[in-house]
Structure 1
Amino acid sequence: MGVFLIGTVWYCWVEGWRWLDAAYMTVITLATVGFMEVHELGDRGRLFTIILILMGVVAIGYIVNRFTEALIQGYFQAGLRLQQRRRIMESLTQHYILCGFGRTGRQIALEFKAEGIPFIAIDSDLAEVHEAQELGYVAIQGDATLDEVLTGVGIERAVCLVAALPSDAENLYTVLSAKTLNPQVRAIARASTEEALKKLQRGGADAVVSPYITGGKRMAAAALRPQVMDFVDGILTGTDRAFYMEECLLEPGTCPYVGQTLREARLRSQTGALVLAIRRADGSLIAGPTADTTLMTGDVLISMGTAEQLRELNQVLGPIRHRVPRLPKHT
């Protein structure tokens, strides 16, 4: 536009042409269409026309260069982002898959982030995916009920899948697909009704949570035992906790204390962590184990302590595998 104005003003004021003639001469000169001169030009006018042509070529070249650069850069940036996401998904192992990034999914992602859990979120709504990515989460757009989508996020390497999709049918299909692709994956599902809760359990979900039932129970507990609820919430969720709860699976050949009692193992005196309960391999629960309780292969120790105490407990117990493979990082 600046070059056009310079040419028009020159031909109008210096050469004395009409505004229309000056504008027309400028346009055909910059467009290099090869028309004849509108009026006879002297040496001064022809020299200016040469300069005007060069200015036009430079301006057009600059515009084309920036446009091409923007296209190429955008293409490569999109490709780089795609490759980066693919590398991240391929590198994920022992991770969690969060299906659905709605109101429930956002809270789950917040807790996962607070615990330092490696996870990837899936949602069919592109706006939700963008929001998850802006929050720093790894997220992709896709239908979590489809096998190819779950395979793409490494379901065969995942340790847990959380189905928090809007409808019970979608959650059921997702659990069925996940269990088919990886029977060992732990599946947690959201249910809106008691009927859906039963169907999800029959469909293979390891745990089913109904926000309405759970919310009602927690509200009643908060009304009846407020101090207990505050304490439990304080050790189960949040980023500024002083105490944590963790569970560890004792596998054969890895834990040096299998076969010993809690008194003999001296876990409390060595680490400071408190063993609250023990889940036996047959599913029975020992709440508040005594010093004479024997540690057995396949036991799941449910312990409470600070982050440092729980880290120390893991080191003392040896290279064991967590049923839920996580370790608190906040002190």
Structure 2
Amino acid sequence: MNSKNIFLSQTAIEVKYKQLQKELIGGAIAIIVIFLLGTLWYKFIEGWNWLDSIYMTVITLATVGYGETRPLGDRGRLFTIFLIGLGIVTIAYIVNQFTEAIIQGYFQEGRKLRQLKRLIETLREHYILCGYGRTGKQIAQEFQAEGISFIIVDSDLESVELAQQMGYIVVQGDATLDETLVKVGIERATCLVAALPSDAENLYTVLSAKTLNPTVRTIARASTEEAVKKLQRGGADAVVSPYITGGKRMAAAALRPQVMDFVDGILTGTDRSFYMEEFRLDPEVCPYVGQTLKDARLRSQSGALVVAIRRADGTLIGGPTAETVLSARDSMICMGTAEQLRLLNQILSPLASKRLRLPKHNL
């Protein structure tokens, strides 16, 4: 059976929960108004004291049948009948709504949604994955393996349920809408990955993300070469086409199998002996800015290999030599064991060392 016939979506639960809250609050207000109406009637129309008026109103609304507190005329009895009718209808309405909320589990689901909201509000420098399809599942697995904080956004109920079963933080919603991205903390996020089924959705998501947070790094999935160009023009920092990239990797696996096995082992986690990590040289904390690789002696100090350096202007230096100068805000791409990369991280940033996402068991 389709799960959509069994489970309500997060959005539907949230809407229904808020609606039930309003209805229960409305019912409570109605009871208070009816109680005040009865008390004021017995006090000022019948001329009773406050205690007798309150007592008569309570036993009337509760329909306990204790009898009249004081003798009532025809007018008073007609009002009491009217008061009983109002009380029965209002209380029955409140009981019905409360029972429905308990049976349907809206209170429990509402509590879970509040907990999810509080959890999202605590996230900082997290990753946002838009789309939990075939591509999104692989991305989520890599994120989880790297131990980073991430949240999934998908509008499909079945995908949301699958992500929840995996223990991921997931929100059901349209990632192309600003309100959805704000809900998952786009202003505090480090990176957004748009892996939605259509190129148009990915483009809208990238545009919305860049508008809400111009500094967030955006990665987008594209189906065609034309879509790659449009997404790049739309502000995506990196665009990946599974078909184009997959074809190139298959060709490389056929032509250079040993090279591809080695690279795949590092990038996909098949071989956890070596890792690749990037380090940004902050002039405020890095003591080696302005020095050459020979003078810095990074290889001899840490054992990690500097594979490439990307300058602040985007220039890529592959296989830097000993005479290559380290400049401010360079990004160094290094390879080594988990221990070597952690040691290199401490050497490059002794005053503000960031936490590397590497497994602790390799230490």
Question: What interval of TM-score do these two structures reach, taking the shorter chain for normalisation?
Answer: 0.7 to 0.9
Q: Secondary structure at the match of 2:323?
A: coil
Q: Deviations over 1:128-165 (max 9, x none)?
A: 01110110110010000000000010101111100000
| Counterpart for residue 116 of structure 1 | 147
Aligned to 2:357: 327
Is 1:170 the counterpart of 2:201? The answer is: yes
Match for residue 134 of structure 1 among 143, 146, 165: 165
Question: Would you say 1:231 and 2:231 are equivalent positions?
Answer: no
Q: Cα 1:239–1:140, aligned 2, differ >3 Å: closer, same or farther?
A: farther
Judge conservation of contact 1:125–1:141 (CA < 8 Å) in 2. yes
Match of 1:160 in 2: 191
Query: Is the partner of 1:296 in helix, strand or coil?
Result: coil
3-state DSSP of counterpart to 1:303:
strand
5+ residue gaps, structure 1, are 1-63
- Find the counterpart in structure 1 of residue 224 from structure 2: 193
Residue of structure 1 equivalent to 2:81? none
1:69 to partner: Cα distance:
11
Partners in 1 of 2:352 and 2:225 — Cα distance?
Answer: 37
1:211 corresponding residue in structure 2: 242
Secondary structure at the aligned position of 2:105 is classed as helix
The answer to whether the 8 A contact 2:346-2:353 is kept is: no
Deviation string 1:111-131 (CA, Å, 9 cap, x unpaired) is 001111110000000110111
Q: Could you say which residue in structure 1 is the equivalent of 2:306?
A: 275
The reply to whether residue 253 of structure 1 matches residue 253 of structure 2 is no
| 8 Å CA contact retained: 2:345, 2:353 | no
| Aligned mates of 2:288, 2:108 — CA distance in 1 | 53
Q: Is the 8 A contact 2:304 2:336 kept in 1?
A: yes
User: Which residue pairs with 1:29 in the alignment?
Assistant: none
Judge conservation of contact 1:250–1:321 (CA < 8 Å) in 2.
Answer: no
**How far did residue 238 of structure 1 move?**
2.1
1:174 maps to a residue whose letter is T
Q: CA RMSD in A?
A: 2.1
Give the residue type in structure 2 aligned to 1:301. M
Give SS of 2:335's match. strand
Structure 1 length-normalised TM: 0.76
- Give the direction of change, closer, same or farther, for the CA distance of 1:70–1:144 in structure 2 (3 Å limit): closer
Q: Conserved in 1, the CA contact under 8 Å of 2:264 and 2:270? A: no
Deviations for 1:252-310, whole angstroms, at most 9, x for unmatched residues?
21101111111221111111111111111111111111122111101101000111111
Matches of 2:291 and 2:270, distance apart in 1: 35
Deviations 1:69-111 (A, max 9, x none): 9928934421221121111110111111000000000000000
Using the alignment, how far apart are the partners of 1:247 and 1:297 within structure 2? 14
CA distance in 1, matches of 2:103, 2:204: 41
Residue of structure 1 in register with 2:273 after alignment: 242
Cα separation, 2, equivalents of 1:114 and 1:300: 23
Q: Identify the match of residue 210 of structure 2 among 171, 176, 179.
A: 179
Q: What is the distance in 2 between the residues matched to 1:135 and 1:239?
A: 21
Q: Is the 8 A contact 2:177 2:208 kept in 1?
A: yes
How far residue 327 of structure 1 moved from its aligned partner, in angstroms, is 2.3
Query: How far, CA to CA, are the matches of 2:104 and 2:202 in structure 1?
Result: 39
C-alpha displacement at 1:241, in angstroms? 1.2
| Whole-angstrom CA distance in 1 between matches of 2:333 and 2:113 | 41
Question: Using the alignment, how far apart are the partners of 1:142 and 1:239 within structure 2?
Answer: 33
> 1:329 Cα deviation (Å)?
2.1
Range moving further from structure 2, 258-267 or 164-173: 258-267
Q: Is 2:132 the partner of 1:101? A: yes
Following the alignment from structure 1 to structure 2, what is the Cα–Cα distance between the partners of residues 267 and 210?
36
Cα pair 2:101 2:107 within 8 Å, conserved? no
Would the aligned equivalents of 2:342 and 2:356 in 1 still touch at CA under 8 Å? no
Q: How does 1:280-319 map to 2 (within 5 A)?
A: 280-318=311-349, 319=351
Q: 1:90 aligns to what SS in structure 2?
A: helix
Aligned residue for 1:44? none
1:263 corresponds to: 294
